[in-house]
Amino acid sequence: MNLAPVLRAEALKVLTLRSLCGTLLALFTATTAFSALAGVSDTSDPDFDPLFMALSGIMPGQIAAIAFGAVVVSSEYQGNGIRLTLAAVPQRGRWFAAKLAVVAVPVLGVGLLTASAALLAARAGLGAAADGLTAGEQVRGVVGCGIYLMLMALFAAGLTTLFRSGVATLSTLIPFILIVSFVIGDAAGTVADFLPDKAGQIVLYQTHEGTLGPWTGLAVTAVWTAVALLAGFWRLRRRDA
């Protein structure tokens, strides 16, 4: 079977699952709302970074992106649906590529739209405090934010394929991002810059310190994502449906 009909079939699965469309809506709504709230916060802190403040809604919003990547894959393992899928598409690599495409493309598109809306909403509240942001910094923040969300969704998709369980993925990633990453960050110093979420979030800052820059940070997140996807594909190839 050619890739095009496999892509259409996988896209149809996403469109017919209301929870997945709702997850993307939650990504947009939560990120924009939290960024708008951040826009009316105190700007007198000496460490205040207007770009990060404007895009800070991505911290809670990324949970929706992770959930999307996990559920798109985990839905295949409910009721042994994976058996029917692989019977229809025995080329597992082709099916996996199509599955990843229907994770990456919607999250990237919604992520770019979300970052743009969040930036506009926060800037309205920040007022003069955001005047120092250049057009290049804002474009970098929006594009980087979309790519970061896409990578985190793919990271979750890879782990879900490896674990064969969306619950296991969410139980691992969400506590890690919300709790463990902050604890390690406080204790480990610059080593924490190489964690998948911390590295990718550097692109959200106007100014940054440390070993990694905005794009090298995203590259580190991409490496983590690639490892998760390769591990998931290895499990998919070696285990019967």
> Cα 92 from chain centroid?
24
C-beta separation of 56 from 35 below 8 A: yes
Contacts of 219 (CB under 8 A, 6+ apart): none
- Reported as a single tens digit per residue, the pLDDT across 46-67 is 678 889 999 999 999 999 999 9
The one-digit pLDDT tens for each residue of the chain (241 residues) are 688 889 999 999 898 888 899 999 999 999 999 999 987 776 666 678 889 999 999 999 999 999 999 999 999 888 778 888 888 888 999 999 999 999 999 999 999 999 999 999 998 888 887 788 899 999 999 999 999 999 999 999 999 999 999 999 999 999 988 877 767 665 555 777 888 999 999 999 998 887 899 999 999 999 999 999 999 999 998 876 5
Q: For the chain, give every domain's residue range.
A: 3-238
- Reported as a single tens digit per residue, the pLDDT across 12-33 is 989 888 889 999 999 999 999 9
